[in-house]
Amino acid sequence: MRVPPNLADPRAMGTPVDWVSLRPELDGIPGEGFNLAWSAIERHARGPRSAQTALRFVARDGKRRTLTYVELARAVRRCAGAFRRLGVRKGDTVFLLLPRCPELFTAAFGALECGALVAPLFSAFGPEPIRTRLELGRGKILVTAAALHARKVKPIAGSLRELAHVIVVEDERIPLPPGTLGFASLLARESEEFAIERTQPQDPALLHFTSGTTGKPKGAVHVHGAALMHWLSGKYALDLHPDDVFWCTADPGWVTGTSYGILAPLLIGVTSVVDEGEFDAERWYRILAEEGVTVWYTAPTAIRMLMKAGPAAARAHDLTRLRFVASVGEPLNPEAVWWGQEVLGLPIHDNYWQTETGGIVIANVPALDIKPGSMGQPLPGIEAFVVKRGRDGAVEHLEGPDVQGELALRAGWPSMFRAYLGEEERYEKCFAGELYLTGDLVRRDADGYFWFVGRADDVIKSAGHLIGPFEVESALLEHPAVAEAAVIGKPDPLAGELVKAFVSLKDSVLPSQELRAELLAFARKRLGPAVAPKELDFRPSLPRTRSGKLMRRLLRARELGLPEGDLSTLENSPPL
């Protein structure tokens, strides 16, 4: 299904945007004020889209539930009323420990209508990561599911002095835990009318925790005005049109699951599919086909798992309505882009952002020719630079094609984080004048495309060469035996560091000394001896965050016997 792209002229990439002039697009609260919940829910519920399906939930057993914009708005107002009755005021923090369910959306927007900060948590977290975040964020309310309460919340609830109430989404199979409040029971007592808090664009709205390499996680604060970037990037980077059926597969406890699983599609006014089940290749293809998904936003980890399932699984389903596929979480290897073209009939469009940027800032938009392996170009309203930090803290701009350095963005886009909660000095170190320093090393080519090289602390310095791990990993992934690859720098007395690779093999392949030698030779042929790995170990799987990012620092820590740091977002960590 061909649709003219929202951003038809690629020359608009990176051009200035008057953000203030865009506010009327999101219809601020009548009279005065700007609130994410109003822009995403209320303006549609009170307008021509009131009867349109906002959310279509696919339960684990395949049953479907839908909420129109007006139905969602009524539930949100009841929830806001319940929160207000429990004492929630502007600036308080409401934590959500929920799976993908209707109550997640109701609670998130109910808190925003009260002027509270919304802090989503991974439902896979154990008690200690939950406790840490609730303490850092001074959580006043925690909304969770009955099945999660006994294992994850009950062991810590008594030690959280600022936590006033735990609200549990009722489950008829599980009695309501003592000392908690029932979510549906609370909402049933409230009116469908609520006087929404008249927040302003710079008022805090979202609190996202991102794991640190050592010590406690960082709490990145975002504001109501971030809605402008969610809306713009949803239109341009994901090419969402009002008639689209959109599916973002990200967990709501991860910033993508909030920014693009909850906020952006509702701000634009599309219908979102929400899968309450876990990953299964057959299930995912069935959802794409049966729900008529037109725009799909997923992660490289999921794409690799679909690749392992084989093309026959995809070709058993009618995916002709699908017109745009995008990926985020870590750089997308070129072979995945071409797999999309071959199996789905569509290339996969990579894009780039961070928890701190709050929204997509660099993307392969439909109007751009895709360069497989690239991040794309800066979106309108984003000025991106390649810089070098000096020892004195000064920043030097690096010009010219194929220059490599740290990615910097000119501050001022609406979804830029406004603080690390309680860590002002740490926040200030992220900036040099008007530039936000991302900590990611990139290369900018002659056409203005950006290419990810690696995190500044991941880049390997070997015999005078700066080696980006992504380049080496991509080369190893070209070998038919390799499912996943990660590389680190290992101290070496002669070269400073040598490149060491860790490889996870495809299911039908067994590790051996012969295969190790073959892979090292394969990489050396493609990369040259200066860049190719000198050592290689096999692993059953590689450590990743639940958002799909390789945890190279963890591989390095384990290899060298260093402290492992915060592991609370580790995908394959043991349950607590």
**What number is the average pLDDT over the span 274-299?**
95
Task: Say whether pLDDT at 576 is over 60.
Answer: no
CA atoms of 3 and 243, how far apart (whole Å): 11
pLDDT for 129 equals 82
Question: Could you tell me the strand order of the sheet in which 496-505 lies?
Answer: 482-492, 496-505, 535-538
Q: How many residues does the chain have?
A: 576
> Which one is predicted more confidently, 86 or 508?
86
407 touches 378 (CB < 8 A): no
Per-residue pLDDT reduced to its tens digit, 531-541 = 889 999 999 98
Q: What mean pLDDT, rounded, does the chain reach?
A: 91
Instruction: Report residue 273 as tokens.
Output: 């599919």
Which of 16-25, 153-162, 557-566 bottoms out in mean pLDDT, i.e. has the lowest? 557-566
Task: Say whether pLDDT at 279 is over 80.
Answer: yes
Instruction: Report residue 350 as tokens.
Output: 């990579």
pLDDT for 503 equals 95
Q: Which alpha helices (DSSP H) does 114-161 contain, by range? A: 127-137, 146-148, 154-157
Task: Say whether pLDDT at 47 is over 70.
Answer: yes
pLDDT for 28 equals 82
Instruction: Calculate the CA dihedral of residues 36, 41, 46, 49 and round it to 10 degrees.
Output: 130
Strongest mean pLDDT among 281-290, 475-484, 551-560: 281-290
**Residue 388 class from Cβ within 10 Å (0-12 exposed, 13-18 middle, 19+ buried)?**
middle
pLDDT for 575 equals 31
Residue 539 CB neighbours (<10 A): 15
pLDDT for 422 equals 92
Task: Say whether pLDDT at 213 is over 60.
Answer: no
pLDDT for 214 equals 46
Per-residue pLDDT reduced to its tens digit, 55-77 = 999 999 999 999 999 999 999 99
Per-residue pLDDT reduced to its tens digit, 387-408 = 998 877 789 999 989 988 999 9
> Which one is predicted more confidently, 546 or 378?
378
Q: DSSP character for 177?
A: P
What residue ranges define each of the domains in the chain, with the CATH number in brackets?
10-444 (3.40.50.12780), 457-560 (3.30.300.30)
Cα–Cα nearest to 406, from 465, 449, 462, 456: 456
pLDDT for 573 equals 42
- DSSP structure string for 274-337: EE-S---HHHHHHHHHHTT--EEEE-HHHHHHHHHH-HHHHHTS--TT--EEEE-SSPPPHHHH
The share of the chain scoring above pLDDT 90, in percent, equals 70
pLDDT for 574 equals 33
Per-residue pLDDT reduced to its tens digit, 429-455 = 999 999 999 999 899 999 999 998 877
- Secondary element (H or E) of residue 251: none
**What number is the average pLDDT over the span 459-481?**
80
CA atoms of 167 and 144, how far apart (whole Å): 6
> Which one is predicted more confidently, 75 or 158?
75
**Residue 198 class from Cβ within 10 Å (0-12 exposed, 13-18 middle, 19+ buried)?**
middle
Task: Say whether pLDDT at 131 is over 90.
Answer: no
Task: Say whether pLDDT at 565 is over 70.
Answer: no
> Which one is predicted more confidently, 530 or 316?
316
> Which one is predicted more confidently, 126 or 170?
170
Q: Indicate whether this model's pTM tops 0.75.
A: yes
**What number is the average pLDDT over the span 355-362?**
96
pLDDT for 566 equals 61
> Which one is predicted more confidently, 387 or 459?
387
